[in-house]
Structures are given as structure tokens and as C-alpha cells.
Structure 1
Amino acid sequence: MGIEVKHPTEPVTLAIIGCGQRGDSYARYSLIEPTKCKIVAIAEPRSKTRALFASTYDVDSSLVFETWEQFHKASAETIQTIGKRLADAVVIAVHDHLHARLVIAFSAQGYDILCEKPMATSIEHCLQIEAAVKDAGIIFGMGHVLRYSPYSRAVTEVVRSGQLGQLVNAQHIEPIGHWHFSHSYVRGNWSKESESSFSLMTKSCHDIDILSHWLYPDTPVRVSSFGGLQHFRKSSKPVGAGDATRCLDCLYESQCPYSAKKGKSPLVYLDRVAQNAVGWPVSTLVDGLPDIENITDALKNGPYGKCVYESDNDVCDNQVVNLQYASGATVSFTMVAYTTLICERQTRLHFTHGEIVGDMSQFTVTDFRSGEKTIHEPPSEGGGHGGGDFGLIRAFIEAVRTRQQDLLDTDVTDVLNSHLTVFAAEHSRKTGVVVDYKEFEIAARRAWDGGMTLTGS
């Protein structure tokens, strides 16, 4: 069963596995560019979300599945009977711990794959993905959307041009945002390492990736990291909150910056719904469209209405990572919850003959030799992450259509290497040692037993 280059006028067909916020972010490109791609199949366990998604993207009822296993089985049947898959490619946007199982299963069926970040939640699973993708010879895209925004592409162009000389130092900050962190990493799906992964991986693996991208082909040699959970724990609970465990029952709620009900923070679930603002983050609380009734019920009974100081979260709310590269170049990365800048990353790149200073909206290039300063303001092209979501899906679609992996400017081994850097940083944070990256990589590969495989079903 071969894979052929598609005709330019024929849209690439996609199956979306997981119809939540990330799956929908990629799928929306098909509404903007219907001649480029078409959503032909979906798998989603939540009934209302599934029905709404199928309606939005006009998916035939015969290709609407409740689970990924059902889609996988139906695909196996069509491959066996008529030698054809149900779609050209699959977008995997399920919970992080399932990524490896699904990539392995669908690569074995010959699907090209776009997998949401992170690659996987363990080194073993990342290595298994690398092996599966290479064995299948498929196109593989990773949800490292920072690479694909107009802003990042413009920075990359300057970096790779060599006009500023050698890149010697990078300083990069990921300001998650106080309410974003409390939503996703205290109350939300990424609050516990045992159920997802550590926050440096789930939130900032694409920050480490874009830094690695700018320094390529240089490679890291030493890694250190420090951080922890500073504030979102019971010992930090305000005295005025008393024994309350939920915002709707708390007398201190109106004064709390992390209120789930109301306040000055943008994260006000009930007030947002009252103003008909039903997108993210409100949309993540319920199955289907949010309204006052179902959001109120969610706050009364679900994790998003729980006091941030009474939640069972355990991931870091601040962390620094230091990297030294083979050339001698150094990197300092900071991830922090406590800021009003919601993912508006701040970056300084220092070269031997100039510097770049940017904030994801614009960046200034200074040439030391001429003294010239040039301000770049790349236009946003829609979609999340400054256009990175659409930039990634566009590149993936074209790579699938033409069978050219290099259009994604990365491959599965490149993705694995940036993830290993993240794992090395977390190892340093937990052990208090400076990690020799090469030794860490060699040990990881030696520890992996190639005979230990994840089955696809």
C-alpha cells in the first residue's frame, strides 16, 4: 500500500483524533483553506463535543467515532478489504499519555501524523515513536507551533542568515500567566505529573525546541535546572478563605486573584459566559457549548471550581533551565506562572556582531558594525500562537501532499533530541546535578529495550 503525491487541486484528507481545543485549532484551517485540506473523520468520546465538531466540519456520520480504537479498527478493515486508509493523515490531539500508543498504531497503518506536543511523557515512549515513524517512512509533524508563526520564521531567517555573526547567548522567558497557570496547571488536565507530565514538558517543550532550532546545528553538552511549586499549595491559602474548598462557597473569593467566579482577572468563568465569551478557557469546562447553567454546575462539582490552594496539583510553577552548547554558546530559559503576560514570550539573542530583542509581536535587530536598528513587525495570519497553529498545519498539509518531510523543517529525530533536552533539564532539577547531555542521551538509548513495544490496540 504505497503513498502517492497528491494532485495540487486535491485536498489532503484528515482524521482528527481528539476534538478538544487543540484538535479544533488545527481543524479550523480546513475552513479557511477548503481546497488544501478536508476533515473526513473524527474520534471524540464526549457526545456533545463530538456532534458539534461533526456538524462544524460536515463529517459524514459513518466516519464519526467515539473512540480512537473504533477508528483504528474501521481503518484496518478498509485497508484489508480495499487497500485504502480512511484519510491521508491523522491529527493526534488526545491526552499526553496516549500520544505514543496512537502514533505507533497509526504509523503502522501508514498514516502521516501530526502529533500535538509533547511527543510523549517518557523517554522510552519518545524512543518508541522515533522507531515507529522511521520504520513506517511516514511524514511526521510535531505540535511545536512556535517554529511556524510569522514572527518566529522571521527571527529564524535573521539567525540563519549569519548577518549578525555567531549566536553566543540566548535569554528566553515563557510567562505563562497567573490565571492561565491556575486554569491549566492547578485545576486543569496538566496539574499532576502522574496523570500527564512535568510542566516544563507539557508547557515549555516547544520553547526548548525553538531555542534548539535557532542554535542548530550546535548541540547541547551540559544542562542544569532549578525550580519548584512555590505558591499553589495549601500552606499559601489566605486565612480569610477559612475551610472553603470551592470558590462558590468562599467568603474570600471576591479578593482572590484566582477566583473561578468573578474578579479583576480575565479568568472569570461565570462572568465570561454571561458576556457570551464561550471560547477557551470556558469551553474546556463542559461537553458542548458553555452556558450559565452548565458552567455553574461545573464550578460546583468539577475541578475548575476548586480552590487553587485545595487542589491536588504538584507541577512546578516556576523553573529555570541553563544550557551550554558544544560551540560554547549559552542559553537561559525561564518558565514562570506569576505574570500578566499570557504566553507573550520575551527573547534576547546575542550574537558576535549584533542582537535580536523580541516579544512575539515585534523584534528589533541591532547591527553593531553599522549601528543600525531595524524593527520587524511580522503580520499575524490568524490562528493561535501568533499564527503558529495555522503555520504548522499549513506546512504539514503541504508536506503530506508533496511527500517532503523537509517542508516541516524538522524530523522525528530532531523532535526527539529537543525532548531529551527537556528530560535532561528535569533530571537536573530533581537530582541537583549538572547533566552531561551526551552521556544522558547515550544512557537513555541504552536503557531502552527495543523489544519493549506498545501495541496499537
Structure 2
Amino acid sequence: MMTSPVRVIVVGAGNRGDSYSQFASIHPERMKVVGVADPRRFARTKIQQQHKIEDGNVFSEWKSIAEREKFADAVLICTPDRHHKEPAVAFANKGYHMLLEKPMATTIEDCTAIVKACTLSGVMLSVAHVLRYDPVIHMIKELIDAGAIGDVIHIQHFEPVGFYHFAHSFVRGNWRNEAESSFALLAKSCHDIDLIHHWAGARRCVKVSSFGSVSHFQKENKPVGAGDRCMNCPIEQDCAYSACKIYLDRVKQGHTGWPVSVICPSSLPDIESVTEALKNGPYGRCVYECDNDVCTNQVVNMEFEGGVTAAFSMVAFTEEICKRKTTIHGSKGELSYNGHEVNVFDFLTQRSTKHTAPNNVPKHFGMSGHGGADYHFIDAFISAVANNDPSLIRSGPEETLLSHLLVFEAERSRLESTVVYCGDGSQS
């Protein structure tokens, strides 16, 4: 067990890198940020100042770190999705333990290469499937394994993305265009396919089908008279997706957290900088005039060994934001999760039992993401490195690779309009 803090390097100082690094401010005795790399001066300087990183350990690109002698225990890789593989392999080869933002990578080949590099180097890999670390969601797996509902028969899982969240991230934002990032099921919902794969246990998925499309956010649905940007649009007040409502109104009310915090790349958000961002940046565009091409709604149907079935739905157009809903039907009972608590109905006694779990997350900026699961995720990773105990990581290399492969197979099914038989490359 380490007696000194785990030394980490942040590669990619955007929203996720900044959030995870906050753990060092809460627990300086357990984690110390000793290096940062990001091409954006403001982003890397912000991390440097927060964690008092010496000038010699601040870089505009990660390759400069990889070329040096190893000077930390672990690296947090939070670069854009399409830029995960190269740094992940390089840092694994240097012997760094690794926290890797999800998705692992945007191709099967790159995901496989990352796992191979980590395995050969003997380093720990923790992929940011943070929902596994939510105490209540983790309880679902514990109840299944304890036999609370008997044998799992069917899993029904729903992700409501949220109408303005989808407009922010997947219409105007970094994940709007597959060529620049990845497809929506991978970028947004690999969390969810991973959970389904996790709840199904050791069973292999044998076949999958999927359907989905881009709905509403298209040029033909642009209201008559609407402008190309919200700041000069004559009908902006009548649009639910107005950037003025999503960003500017929040800043005026004193809210500078997500999503406002990510739209000003060169400064902290205030009325002036947000106004400028909406006038000239991507987040001020009309949602009907963007280059988005990722699915707004998608369903995935799966069959696992032993006849266990699962159905997943992702929808952009919801009031709630990312409050997943789950029902798992078993041979002896039914388990339901409403985003807050778990309820188990026992068929024999015909009684329902509610289950909750404490979620003790420090009230600190950056650590409340995903209902506090971000905190528990980085907490587990730092503990795993400090104690040299990979069992503390709930989404390690091999299982993560398997759930990612299932995501890729589901997307292939959608694109090819076919049932995909997993693992043998065949289809119906």
C-alpha cells in the first residue's frame, strides 16, 4: 500500500479531465496531480494553477510526456474519443496505470490494441463506465447475485438523454458528427450496454438487432422565419432549443456549471464570454442548421446465452436528463429502478421491498457528475493503484472490451438492417 499520494498526469484538460482532477483537491493525501497536457492554453493553465504543477510538467501535447522518463504512477486520459488509442498504448508501454474516459476507443481494432497493451505491460486499466460506481445501481448487481429475483429472464433499460442535453452535446457539440467523434450509441450509451452486459452475468450475447435514426434536428424542420443563430433569431423566444435559454439565461441566474462551463474555451463563463460564444461559436447555432448526423433515438434488442433477453432504448426528447429507468424480470421476482431507488417484488410473498444506498459524495465542484458516480469511480481507481489491487476496478480491460464489442455489433445491425450473430461475423 502506498504511503504517499498517487501521482497522476491529466491528458486532456477538458470537462472530464478537470472533473476527475478535483479528487486531488478533496483528498490531497491520496492523489496529487503532477502533470498536464492539453493543446489549449487556458485549459492546461487552469489545471496547472489549481494543482500547483511545476512549469516543466505542463505540455501542449501528450507525446512530450510519453517521451520522458516515467514521473507518475497513473495517467487520466480524457482526450477526444478518436484520440484515445495512441496515448493509451503509449502510456501503457511506459508502465503507467490508466484511467481512460469512455468510450475506450472508436473502433474495434483500437479497443483491442489498448487492452493488449495494458495486458502485456501489466498495468491497470479502468474505463469510465462510471454508472457501475453509482451505489444504487451497484446494488442492482448485488441483488441479482444474491438471488433476490431468481434467474434473470429479461432486462428492460431506458436512457432519457434530455432535450437540451442532446441539443448541447449531440446537435451543437463535440459528439454531433460521427466522422469527428463516434456514433451516439458508443458515445452516449456504451454506459448502458455495459450495464446490461454486466447484469446478464457471465452469459455471452449471441445475437443483437438495432434500429434508430436522426429525428427532428434537420433542416426541413426549421421553423419559418428562424435565423441561423439564436442570438439574431426573431422567433428564438418560441424555441425550446434556444441557445439563449440553455446557456445565457443560466449565466444570468448565476449558474456557471455544466453545460455553460464547456462553451467558452478561452475563459471562465460570464455574461460577456457566453454572449460572445453564442454569437460566434458552435453552441450558438440553430439546431436545425448544424452538421449533426448521430441518432436521436435508438433501440437495441439482445439475446444472451440461456435465452435471457434484453431491450434498451435511448431517446433525446425527454424532460429528465440521464435518469435511467430499469426493470429486470426474474423467475422469482421483479426488480425495478426509477433513477433513485430499487424496488424488489417477490412473487412468493407478493411483497415489495425498497432498497436505497448512501451516496456520500463531498460537496465539491466536479465531483457530483452522474449522481456522484464520478467521485466513486475516481475513488476506486486511486484506491486500486495505491493498494495494487485491480479487483477494486469494476470495469477492467477484458469485460469492457466485451461490452464495447456488443455496442459495435448493435450499430452494425442498425446500419445493415439485419440481425447480427455475435462473435462469428455472420448475420441473418
TM over 0.5: yes
Deviation at 1:303, TM superposition (A): 0.7
Q: Residue 398 of structure 1 corresponds to which residue in structure 2?
A: 383
**Do the aligned residues in 2 keep the contact of 1:361 with 1:378 (CA within 8 Å)?**
no
**Do the aligned residues in 2 keep the contact of 1:150 with 1:381 (CA within 8 Å)?**
no
Paired amino acid for 2:261: S
1:318 aligns with 2:312: no
Give secondary structure in 1 for the equivalent of 2:190: helix
Distance 1:58 1:215 in 2: 45
Deviation at 1:110, TM superposition (A): 0.5
Q: 2:38 aligns with which of 40, 44, 56?
A: 44
Distance 1:31 1:155 in 2: 31
1:362-384 deviation per Cα after TM superposition (whole angstroms, max 9, x unaligned): 11111111222111222333321
Deviation at 1:34, TM superposition (A): 1.9
The answer to which of 127-136 and 63-72 deviates more is 63-72
Q: Once the two structures are aligned, what percentage of the paired residues are identical?
A: 45
Q: 1:259 aligns with which of 242, 246, 265?
A: 242
1:198 aligns with 2:183: yes
Distance 1:438 1:40 in 2: 42
The equivalences for 1:224-235 within 5 A come to 224-235=209-220
Distance 2:225 2:158 in 1: 33
| TM-score under structure 2 length normalisation | 0.95
| TM-score under structure 1 length normalisation | 0.90
**Do the aligned residues in 1 keep the contact of 2:155 with 2:328 (CA within 8 Å)?**
yes
1:203-233 deviation per Cα after TM superposition (whole angstroms, max 9, x unaligned): 0001000111111111100100001001111
Distance 2:144 2:7 in 1: 35
Give secondary structure in 1 for the equivalent of 2:307: coil
Q: 1:380 aligns with which of 359, 374, 386?
A: 359
Give secondary structure in 1 for the equivalent of 2:34: strand
Distance 1:25 1:377 in 2: 26
Q: Residue 363 of structure 1 corresponds to which residue in structure 2?
A: 342
Distance 2:98 2:58 in 1: 19
1:233-254 deviation per Cα after TM superposition (whole angstroms, max 9, x unaligned): 101111241xx21011111110
Q: 1:22 aligns with which of 16, 25, 32?
A: 16
The equivalences for 1:160-199 within 5 A come to 160-199=145-184
Deviation at 1:67, TM superposition (A): 1.6
Paired amino acid for 1:424: E
**Do the aligned residues in 2 keep the contact of 1:151 with 1:386 (CA within 8 Å)?**
no
The answer to which of 176-185 and 45-54 deviates more is 45-54
1:107-144 deviation per Cα after TM superposition (whole angstroms, max 9, x unaligned): 01010000000010011111111211111110000010
The equivalences for 1:38-77 within 5 A come to 38-73=32-67, 76=68
CA-atom RMSD, angstroms? 1.4
Q: 1:409 aligns with which of 390, 394, 399?
A: 394
Q: Residue 454 of structure 1 corresponds to which residue in structure 2?
A: none
Distance 2:395 2:79 in 1: 22
Q: Residue 76 of structure 2 corresponds to which residue in structure 1?
A: 91
Deviation at 1:315, TM superposition (A): 0.3
Paired amino acid for 1:19: A
Q: Residue 120 of structure 1 corresponds to which residue in structure 2?
A: 105
Q: How many residues align?
A: 420
Distance 1:155 1:32 in 2: 28
**Do the aligned residues in 2 keep the contact of 1:167 with 1:329 (CA within 8 Å)?**
yes
**Do the aligned residues in 1 keep the contact of 2:7 with 2:72 (CA within 8 Å)?**
yes
1:339-384 deviation per Cα after TM superposition (whole angstroms, max 9, x unaligned): 0110000110111101111122111111111222111222333321
Q: Residue 299 of structure 1 corresponds to which residue in structure 2?
A: 278
Deviation at 1:49, TM superposition (A): 2.2
Q: Residue 279 of structure 1 corresponds to which residue in structure 2?
A: 257
**Do the aligned residues in 1 keep the contact of 2:158 with 2:324 (CA within 8 Å)?**
yes
Q: Residue 421 of structure 1 corresponds to which residue in structure 2?
A: 406
Deviation at 1:44, TM superposition (A): 1.8
Distance 1:33 1:371 in 2: 46
Q: Residue 117 of structure 2 corresponds to which residue in structure 1?
A: 132
Q: Residue 325 of structure 2 corresponds to which residue in structure 1?
A: 346
Distance 1:106 1:360 in 2: 36
Gaps of 5+ in 1: 1-5, 80-84, 444-457
The answer to which of 32-41 and 312-321 deviates more is 32-41
Distance 1:410 1:24 in 2: 21
Q: Residue 109 of structure 1 corresponds to which residue in structure 2?
A: 94
1:270 aligns with 2:248: yes
**Do the aligned residues in 1 keep the contact of 2:12 with 2:79 (CA within 8 Å)?**
yes
Distance 2:10 2:340 in 1: 30
Distance 2:216 2:58 in 1: 43
Give secondary structure in 2 for the equivalent of 1:406: helix
Paired amino acid for 2:198: H
Give secondary structure in 1 for the equivalent of 2:117: helix
Give secondary structure in 2 for the equivalent of 1:327: helix
Q: Residue 3 of structure 1 corresponds to which residue in structure 2?
A: none
Q: Residue 212 of structure 1 corresponds to which residue in structure 2?
A: 197
1:280-320 deviation per Cα after TM superposition (whole angstroms, max 9, x unaligned): 11111112311112211111111100000000100000000
Distance 2:359 2:277 in 1: 34
Deviation at 1:163, TM superposition (A): 2.6
Distance 1:195 1:17 in 2: 19
**Do the aligned residues in 2 keep the contact of 1:52 with 1:288 (CA within 8 Å)?**
no
Q: Residue 453 of structure 1 corresponds to which residue in structure 2?
A: none
Give secondary structure in 1 for the equivalent of 2:302: strand
**Do the aligned residues in 1 keep the contact of 2:148 with 2:344 (CA within 8 Å)?**
no
1:359-417 deviation per Cα after TM superposition (whole angstroms, max 9, x unaligned): 22111111111222111222333321122111111111111122222221332111111
Distance 2:391 2:258 in 1: 32
**Do the aligned residues in 2 keep the contact of 1:186 with 1:313 (CA within 8 Å)?**
yes
Give secondary structure in 2 for the equivalent of 1:427: helix
Give secondary structure in 2 for the equivalent of 1:185: helix
Paired amino acid for 1:395: A
Distance 1:288 1:49 in 2: 9
**Do the aligned residues in 1 keep the contact of 2:149 with 2:335 (CA within 8 Å)?**
no
Gaps of 5+ in 2: 362-367
Distance 1:288 1:72 in 2: 28
